[in-house]
Amino acid sequence: MTGALRWIGFACGVAMSIGTVIGVMKTFIVPRRSWSLIPWLIGRYAFRLFHAIAIRLRSFDLADRLLGFLAPVVLIGILCSFLASFVVSFALLLLPWAELTFGQALEESGSSVFTLGFTSTDEAVPVALDILAGATGMIFVALTIGYLPTLYGEVTKREVLVKQLEGWTGVPSWGPQILAQFAEAGATHQLPRLYRSWDTWAAHVADTHMKYPVLSHFRLPRANNHWLVALLAVMDAAALEIVLRPDDDHSSARLFLKQGRNTLQSVAYPIRRVDPSPAHPGIDESDFHCGVEQAGLAGYPVSSVDESAWEKFAELRSHYAPMAYQLTYWTIAAPAPWTGDRAGFPATASGHSG
């Protein structure tokens, strides 16, 4: 290898190492939405691979089991790619300062980054680079140790209210069923408290899922439940309350619907396939009246079900349901009433539609 090529490699190593450090900082440290090449590439192509396989499976349970590995695979891929980038960049940095082939430089760089120390070049600059590589490897491991528990802690926090709702209303969750179950339990007066709890939950999810997009692909242990389905169900319950009992105070429900829409926008941003503009409410008038009838039969106190009730509900739902439907489609969420038909997914063809 000529001297000129070694110095070109050195320049590439400087650029690669700086880019990798910035990527690590954006991924592990910077507390805001930020774009980084390696996580973006790993997430994009892992998602495409898993998605392509999942839609060809014969049952939703099999698809859900497969998709349960998506988030861990993305995480491992990101961590391994960052480490590989550090190894290659330090190998390129070594080239002008030691009479090494690129393979030997990779060996020495890997020895240093992984703090193994089985090979080194006994010269000042290579020794300094080896020490820097070892320190980089140790710092990266320390950041990883802090990063993974944070992610899994956020997943646990996200699922608490989802599991609570599952215990109250069963699965899959949907709006009329929430009203019906609260009515049967004589707890309709507790619905504003439910909306306030989910308002806080939604704000937290919006913040964490914009910073860590991989959280959107972590799934619940049970295949027939999904946090997006639960969020849509509670939003539908809030919208139904507003139109079915227009004389009551619905400030909690209205604020929750605003926060829920903001959460859907935040979760949808990294996917970039989701259109946030208002559109069709996702169900028709007959679906609406069937849902209202189910809630009424369970004892939910309905004070207004005229034609304007459907129009008001359709207007409210058109602002959040289109985004929710697209997100349940791209995450292959559990099939449930009023969550879309997942057209094109054989794995969910037997699920509920509408």
Write down the pLDDT at residue 310.
92
Q: Which residues of 141-152 are buried (b: 16+ CB within 10 A; e: fewer)?
A: eebbeebeeebe
Nearest CA among 231, 316, 330, 227 for reference residue 280: 316
Residue 222: pLDDT band (50, 70, 90) is: confident
Residue 274: pLDDT band (50, 70, 90) is: low
H helix runs in 55-123, sequence order? 60-67, 70-94, 102-113
Q: Is the pLDDT of residue 346 over 50?
A: no
Q: Which residues contact 275 (CB under 8 A, 6 or more apart)?
A: 322, 323, 326
More confident residue, 303 or 44: 44
Give the whole-angstrom CA distance, residue 83 versus residue 115. 12
Q: Is the pLDDT of residue 221 over 80?
A: no
Tokens matching residue 92: 């390129």
Half-sphere exposure of 261 (CA within 13 A, CB side): 18
Q: Quickly list DSSP for 8-22.
A: HHHHHHHHHHHHHHH
Write down the pLDDT at residue 347.
45
Q: Which residues contact 308 (CB under 8 A, 6 or more apart)?
A: none
Mean local confidence (pLDDT), 341-349: 52
Q: For residue range 241-254, what is the model confidence (pLDDT) as tens digits?
A: 999 998 888 999 99
H helix runs in 114-190, sequence order? 124-169, 175-184
Q: Report residue 131 CA to chain centroid gap.
A: 37
Please classify residue 305 by burial: count the beta carbons closer than 10 Å to its beta carbon, then call 0-12 exposed, 13-18 middle and 19+ buried. middle
More confident residue, 179 or 352: 179
> Is residue 56 within 8 Å of residue 346, measured between CB atoms?
yes
First to last CA, the chain: 65
